[in-house]
């Protein structure tokens, strides 16, 4: 699509009327839209407020500097031209300066009826400082009117190439928004359908999980039907109980984990009995053991739920570990 950038033209006015016209013609020749304060009707609002609004609405910025600094704004002590330049940079507008050469300014001075109309007589230091500031960046030097137009065209070509965003296009070149709106509506409907389908699947999954969740009471009764003997002390009688009572009594130990690296009899028995709980999903191997050599068995999530539920509701009837 062919686009047209709006280009704000900044400069002092009375001394550069012909040069500004050359800039305007170059912008139009390139196919872009010129904008500058002399093109606007008189405004009641504060001048700088109006200038900022036009810079905001423009896509690029050209500053033309000759032999005058321009009218100084009372609050900042800077010319409106310099304030426009600073604001354009603050807004990150692509810009380029065109600076008149000393020989060009001298020829204008020789042809002028009044010196102060062409060169700065009030604030020459401010002009010199501003000129040096502009020349720190990529600038175009103009030695005559043809150079002004040439430098502007070069600058516009660079901006057109390096800054593809922004600009105006013909309505006939714009995409068919009605057709795009239909596509967007269809996609939105499809997304809504997918979200509804996802919600239905999640509901079915939750229901399936609820139906397939283990019956903790039944699991407790099964474990309570498995008798065992635990020999705590070789000199004492073995303690009689069930796999379930073992689980309840030693759940704090199982929560930390047990292994068979200890040579004493009790830890070995705990490890063996913890292993007997694994087929029921109550215990499991630790996925992150502290050692790569020894495997550790810990209480599983199901085991934790079973212990907590049983402690709240009370264990099923059956023998507990007792001497």
For position 169, what pLDDT does the model report?
A: 67
Q: How far apart are CA 323 and CA 229, in angstroms?
A: 10
Residue 268 backbone phi and psi in degrees, to 5: -65, -40
Q: Which CATH class is domain 3-172?
A: alpha beta
For position 232, what pLDDT does the model report?
A: 57
Half-sphere exposure of 179 (CA within 13 A, CB side): 3
For position 305, what pLDDT does the model report?
A: 87
Asked if the model's pLDDT at residue 78 lies above 80, the reply is yes
**Number of H helices and number of E strands within the chain?**
11, 11
Summarised one tens digit per residue, pLDDT across range 95-104 is 999 999 999 9
Q: Confidence band (pLDDT; 50, 70, 90) for 62?
A: very high
Mean pLDDT across 10-32: 91
Mean pLDDT across 235-251: 80
Lowest average pLDDT, out of 37-51, 145-159, 300-314, goes to: 37-51
Find how far residue 105's CA is from the centre of its chain.
49
Give domain limits for the chain.
3-172, 216-313
For position 313, what pLDDT does the model report?
A: 66
Q: pTM (2 decimals)?
A: 0.53
Q: What's the chain's length in residues?
A: 323
Asked if the model's pLDDT at residue 207 lies above 90, the reply is no
Strands (E), 70-213: 95-100, 140-142, 168-169
Mean pLDDT estimate for the chain: 83
Q: Confidence band (pLDDT; 50, 70, 90) for 92?
A: very high
Greater pLDDT, 110 or 164 = 110
Nearest to 223 by CA among 312, 139, 320, 92: 320
Is the domain spanning 216-313 CATH 1.10.3470? The answer is no
């Amino acid at each position: 699509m062919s686009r047209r950038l709006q280009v704000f033209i900044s400069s002092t006015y009375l001394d550069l009327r012909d040069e500004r016209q050359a800039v305007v013609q170059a912008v139009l020749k390139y196919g872009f839209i010129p904008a500058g304060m002399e093109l606007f009707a008189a405004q009641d609002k504060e001048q700088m407020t109006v200038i900022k609004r036009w810079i905001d609405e423009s896509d690029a910025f050209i500053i033309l500097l000759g032999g005058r600094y321009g009218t100084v704004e009372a609050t900042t002590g800077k010319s409106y031209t310099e304030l426009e330049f600073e604001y354009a940079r603050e807004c990150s507008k692509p810009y380029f300066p065109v600076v008149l050469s000393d020989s060009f300014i001298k020829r204008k001075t020789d042809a002028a009826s009044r010196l102060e109309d062409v060169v700065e007589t009030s604030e020459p230091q401010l002009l010199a400082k501003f000129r040096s500031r502009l020349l720190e960046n990529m600038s175009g030097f103009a030695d005559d009117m043809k150079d002004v137009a040439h430098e502007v065209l070069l600058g516009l070509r660079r901006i057109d190439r390096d800054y593809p965003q922004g600009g105006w296009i013909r309505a006939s070149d714009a995409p068919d928004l009605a057709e795009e709106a239909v596509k967007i509506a269809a996609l939105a409907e499809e997304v809504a359908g997918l979200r509804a389908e996802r919600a239905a699947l999640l509901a079915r999954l939750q229901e399936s999980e609820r139906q397939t969740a283990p019956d903790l009471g039944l699991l407790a009764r099964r474990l309570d039907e498995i008798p065992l003997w635990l020999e705590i002390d070789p000199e004492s009688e073995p303690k009689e109980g069930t796999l379930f009572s073992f689980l309840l009594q030693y759940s704090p130990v199982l929560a930390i984990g047990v292994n068979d690296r200890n040579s004493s009899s009790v830890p070995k028995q705990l490890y063996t009995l913890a292993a007997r709980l694994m087929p029921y999903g109550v215990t499991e191997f630790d996925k992150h053991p502290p050692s790569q050599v020894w495997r550790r068995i810990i209480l599983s999530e199901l085991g934790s739920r079973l212990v907590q539920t049983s402690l709240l509701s009370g264990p099923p009837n059956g023998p507990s570990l007792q001497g």
